[in-house]
Amino acid sequence: MSDSKIPSRVEIPFFPFGKRIAVTTSFDDAVLQDRRVVKAFNEWGLKGTFNLNSGRLLRTGKPATGSSGRIDACEVADLYKGHEVAAHTVTHPSLTRLDPAQIAMEVIEDRKALEDLVGYPVRGMAYPNGAYDEKVINVLRQIGIVYSRTVENSTRCFPPAEPLAWASTAHMYSKNPCPVNENFENLYSIKSYSGVFYIWGHTYEFDHEGCDWADLERIFKPLSGKPDVWYCTNIELFDYEAARKRVVIAANLKTVYNPSAITVSVSVDGKLTDIPPGKIVDLK
């Protein structure tokens, strides 16, 4: 058997399926305006992570009306289907003002209530009022929270050095360094650019004075529909990163083993190969 076909290099790209950019979003507080954003995102193929305060959801057993402002718990599973539901604490306190026991209760009780609604483990979070410190991070680390979004910005936001202090690229109405849609177009037009573009906000902001629902399309639609962009939820980013870190490439470059439960793409001498979950793939 000749070894002439053994690859000379096997790389593990940052994103699956040859995508060079990941676009993800995050919205807080579970308000009625989420419906309109989810509908648009479903049309455009964008993904969102929605951070919910379980204690502020209505509990009438029927969809909320226009005057209530908040989503009803009975709507959560259907409304956010295909997106991610993440924690935002039960009652929206600034966690830095609480002792560790109250921090733990605010987050665990939120997780439990949301998990009862959506039927999967809730592992992501956004900090109410953006408030966090080392004490808060240390509690979250013990209770199953994989990441927590801050209100800080970073041009290289992923992978974060501390997932429990995760900065986004920008708030949706940020003008720094330029409006979000222009910022994205600029980065996307650089063919060698690879990274995560992560935008957060509150859907009720479209109703604020000086804002407009036309902003939804203006800001977000330009992010959609790109063939080389991976549209993912926040937790999908972290799950994929964990999976790609577990990939084992044989020292002789003849095989690759993917021990995770997610398909991981590897680049074999520049050619993309998908390694199915739990499989050893022959590279020759």
Which H, E and C letters describe 148-213, residue by residue?
Answer: EEEEEECCCCCCCCCHHHEEECEECCCCCCCCHHHHHHHHHHCCCCCEEEEEEECHHHHHCCCCCC
Q: How far is the CB of 112 from Zn ion (least distance, A)?
A: 19
Interface with Zn ion includes 29 (CB under 5 A)?
A: yes
Terminal Cα-to-Cα distance of the chain (whole angstroms): 11
Question: Quick one: 128 or 201, whose CB is closer to Zn ion?
Answer: 128
Find the binding residues for Zn ion in span 100-139 (CB under 5 A).
128
Q: Which of 28, 34, 84, 236 binds Zn ion (CB under 5 A)?
A: 28
Question: Quick one: 200 or 240, whose CB is closer to Zn ion?
Answer: 200
Q: Give every CB contact of residue 67 below 8 A, 6+ residues apart in sequence.
A: none
Q: How far is the CB of 34 from Zn ion (least distance, A)?
A: 12
Q: How far is the CB of 258 from Zn ion (least distance, A)?
A: 37
Q: Give every CB contact of residue 210 below 8 A, 6+ residues apart in sequence.
A: none
Question: Quick one: 123 or 149, whose CB is closer to Zn ion?
Answer: 149
Please identify the residue of the shown chain whose CB is closest to the bound Zn ion.
28
Q: Within 10 Å of residue 192's Cβ, how many Cβ atoms?
A: 5
Q: Give every CB contact of residue 179 below 8 A, 6+ residues apart in sequence.
A: 219
Interface with Zn ion includes 34 (CB under 5 A)?
A: no
Q: How far is the CB of 138 from Zn ion (least distance, A)?
A: 22
Question: Quick one: 89 or 183, whose CB is closer to Zn ion?
Answer: 89
Q: How far is the CB of 54 from Zn ion (least distance, A)?
A: 13
Question: Which window, 29-37, 62-70, 113-121, 221-229, contacts Zn ion (CB under 5 A)?
Answer: 29-37
**What is the total count of residues that contact Zn ion (CB under 5 A)?**
3
CB burial readout 155-191, b (16+ within 10 A) else e: eebbebeebbbbbbbbbbbbeeeebbbebbeeebeee
β-bridge pairing 248-249 and 255-257: antiparallel
> Helical H runs in the chain?
34-44, 76-79, 100-118, 134-142, 180-189, 214-220, 234-246
Question: Quick one: 16 or 128, whose CB is closer to Zn ion?
Answer: 128
Q: Give every CB contact of residue 4 below 8 A, 6+ residues apart in sequence.
A: none
Question: Quick one: 110 or 236, whose CB is closer to Zn ion?
Answer: 110
Question: Which window, 24-32, 35-43, 78-86, 185-193, contacts Zn ion (CB under 5 A)?
Answer: 24-32
Q: How far is the CB of 129 from Zn ion (least distance, A)?
A: 7
Q: How far is the CB of 128 from Zn ion (least distance, A)?
A: 5
Which residues make up the interface to Zn ion (CB under 5 A)? Answer: 28-29, 128
